[in-house]
Structure 1
Amino acid sequence: MTVNTAVAVLVILAAACAPAPLAKAPPPASERPGQFVPFVDHHQHLLSPAGATRANRLLPAVDLPEDLARLVQERAAHWNDPAALAPLYTDDALARMLENPGWIAGRSAVARYLGTRFAAPYHLTPVSFRRAVSSAEIAGYLTRGEGADAKPFAYFLLALERGTDGRWRIAAETPTLPGPVIEEPETAEQLISFLDEVGIRRAVVLSDGYMFDSPKDGLPGAEAKLRAVRAENDWTADQVARFPERLVAFCSFSPLEDYALAELERCAASHRFKGLKLHFGVSHVDLKNPDHVAKVRRVMEAANRLRMPIIVHVRADATYGREHAQIFLDRLVAAAPAVPITIAHLWGGEMFSEEALAVYADAVSAGDPRTRNLFFDIAEIAYAVSKSPEALPKVVSRMRQIGLRRILYGSDGPVAESATPLESWKRTQTLPLTVDELRIVASNLAPYLR
């Protein structure tokens, strides 16, 4: 492999998106509701060890052929020794610089550069390789720690050449920082500390079970999905049970799976769950598909019979709007008249849907009997509309049309994927509500907590 070819195969793309700034600064201290905070966070999540593994989605390490493995081991062993590193590279080797995107050329320069860049030892953990007669490529993570405790902090890609002496050498090396963002498990104890930081007394903890039977996850077969869903639901219940005076749990799963009714019955019979969380986006529920609607309706009818309150993330994709909201109201909300149903994120999730929110607000204000037990949490809505200042007055106007007594405070979680309850409450205060209106929202309790 020539150096030019080696360079051509190195494609490194690293980008990070910072959260957008809020559309409106908090009001002056004299106007802030500093004397009160929400009593309940109605929309929270934990992060189980299984959930963290799923979220991180690190590729597993692979075993290299002995000759390639020896080179990688020597490269790691001499991480801070330029003189010992130099023989591992070809005469015309290249290395990509970490600080300034650009290239270092030549064996000695490359060894000197890479041998003086890091402050502590590390391993090169390969996750992929390919080889031909005289060329090879290895991709992986730079990691620190041993075994299960090993954590990646950067990526690497090596292009190798076999010399006339039969030895493999590195023709081009590209280390890339930062590495993957690693989410750590978040327990009930940690959630309690976050709630205490702002002074929130109670929280509704929504199981992430629906993540494990999502079509996105690719688990093979219904049995594997059900095992993973049950394990996640039970882990959530176990965590919540450590703080019974402060936390309640909702179970979850895909309503499209054949085992959905059985898992709902199991959750209800355990008496460890207060209700049911459904996420149409993660579960790929299509509200314009009559078969999907029928399956979800059966689940909601069963939840109604079992007196299990329901929280629903209604938005499934970018097409979500008036027609979807009307179907949800006509076919699904109507199927569970005896239990509280909460529409998550006010209009149903993600980017602002003026059309969907109008359907719900108009139905409530018109006295539609199907909305008698309909509630709305405001988890992340201040952040969702922060890029669209023109949406703020529309959102607040619809909240007032619905009636603030139906609006439940929520922040979302886990913190690794969202914001702390304290940060979320500060964001909520940027909504153009009066102090008295914020006080009402902060004091509201879902009926199942009264």
Structure 2
Amino acid sequence: MKYDIHPHVISPDMDKYPLNPLGGKRSAWSSARSLTGAQLIAAMDEAGIDKAAVVQSSTTYGHDNSYVVDTVAQFPDRLTGVCSVDLLADDAVEKLQFWHERGCTGLRLFTTGSTMPTQSTWLNDPKTFPAWEYASEIGMPICIQALVVGVPMVRFLLERFPKVPILLDHFMQVDLTEGAPYAAGDPMFSLAEYPQVYLKLTPISVAAVKTGKATAESFFGKAIEKFGANRIAWGSNYPASEGSLPTLLGDAEKALSFLGDEDRSWIFGKTAAELYPSLA
């Protein structure tokens, strides 16, 4: 079984699904190409991907997860949803419960990215704690897109909410150009001591190991040594990352070809199934 924990869907119907990007500016990739739920399923079939956790495109729709949940409802045997919610809002728990009841079994917090290039500082604001407590109660994993400078905030949340699985998107976009031993990634690697921390391996990570003195074997090898393959999961970032879904999967498989079958089976499937039991 192959699972993808980071595709996006974008509807061409902007009347039914209006734009409201976080940061006030739509991402360039979502402006250039849409991807309907049916097109995603077709791409998954072509790539040999069995199931997927569809991640809300925060740089397209902000906190309105309507298209994600409509897509999940259309293909419930293949997909689950990962929603976006404003955790600083007074009704954050109610909104999270609402989207959860409509098919979202994960939450993503977008604290930096293409339309918000600096690291936001609200991540561990006390106003967010009720939503974290709710996620802890229902066992909902939370993806965090953050930079390495955000590690202290992540550590604070790990200490306060030890039952919430936390996925770090794109390996926190660590600068790998200096090569092994990847000192720039030490803050991220230090989080391996928390058993609820997972790493999400995406095309951004695959591209990074081709820069400077980095190599796939030395960097991903260190990540597996620290976290274990059972705490790393692959996500395509399709269609935000350029290329077809089969190509993106093939690139990741090539980068991890030095691993044994068991480690690869965790990264491309079994870890995702543990994080999102509804898919399994």
Structure 2 counterpart of 1:245, from 60, 66, 77? 77
Is the 2:233–2:271 contact (alpha carbons within 8 Å) kept by the matching residues of 1?
A: yes
* 1:210–1:266 Cα change, 3 Å: farther
Counterpart for residue 376 of structure 1: 199
How does the TM-score come out when normalised to structure 2?
Answer: 0.77
Structure 1 residues 300-347: Cα deviation after superposition (integer angstroms, max 9, x where no partner): 2332134322111122xxxx44xx313312x122333223221111x2
Is the 2:199–2:231 contact (alpha carbons within 8 Å) kept by the matching residues of 1?
A: yes
Distance in 2, Cα, partners of 1:181 & 1:208: 8
Distance in 1, Cα, partners of 2:76 & 2:105: 12
Matches within 5 A, 1:228-243: 229-230=63-64, 233-243=65-75
Which residues of structure 1 form unaligned runs of 5+?
Answer: 1-37, 59-179, 214-228
* 1:357–1:245 Cα change, 3 Å: farther
Structure 1 residues 374-430: Cα deviation after superposition (integer angstroms, max 9, x where no partner): 2211012112332334253134212222111111121112x2653332111221133
Is the 2:30–2:60 contact (alpha carbons within 8 Å) kept by the matching residues of 1?
A: no
2:163 partner SS: coil
Q: Does 1:280 align with 2:111?
A: yes
Distance in 2, Cα, partners of 1:356 & 1:276: 27
When you count helix as a share of all residues, which structure comes out higher?
Answer: 2
Matches within 5 A, 1:325-364: 325-329=151-155, 331-345=156-170, 347-349=171-173, 351-352=175-176, 354=182, 357-364=185-192
Structure 1 counterpart of 2:254, from 421, 424, 430? 430
Which residues of structure 2 form unaligned runs of 5+?
Answer: none
Distance in 1, Cα, partners of 2:145 & 2:208: 14
What is the percent sequence identity of the aligned residues? Answer: 22
Distance in 1, Cα, partners of 2:137 & 2:30: 43
The one-letter amino acid paired with 1:293 is D
Q: CA deviation at 1:237?
A: 0.5
Distance in 2, Cα, partners of 1:391 & 1:280: 28
Counterpart for residue 268 of structure 2: 442
Q: CA deviation at 1:243?
A: 1.1
Is the 2:144–2:168 contact (alpha carbons within 8 Å) kept by the matching residues of 1?
A: yes
Is the 2:4–2:51 contact (alpha carbons within 8 Å) kept by the matching residues of 1?
A: yes
Distance in 1, Cα, partners of 2:6 & 2:122: 29
Q: Does 1:42 align with 2:15?
A: no
Higher radius of gyration, 1 or 2: 1
Distance in 1, Cα, partners of 2:86 & 2:32: 24
* 1:356–1:264 Cα change, 3 Å: farther
Q: CA deviation at 1:248?
A: 0.5
Counterpart for residue 412 of structure 1: 237
How does the TM-score come out when normalised to structure 1?
Answer: 0.50
Higher relative contact order (CA 8 A, sep 6+): 2
Matches within 5 A, 1:138-149: none
* 1:309–1:291 Cα change, 3 Å: closer
* 1:430–1:295 Cα change, 3 Å: farther
* 1:234–1:335 Cα change, 3 Å: farther
Counterpart for residue 385 of structure 1: 209
Counterpart for residue 163 of structure 1: none
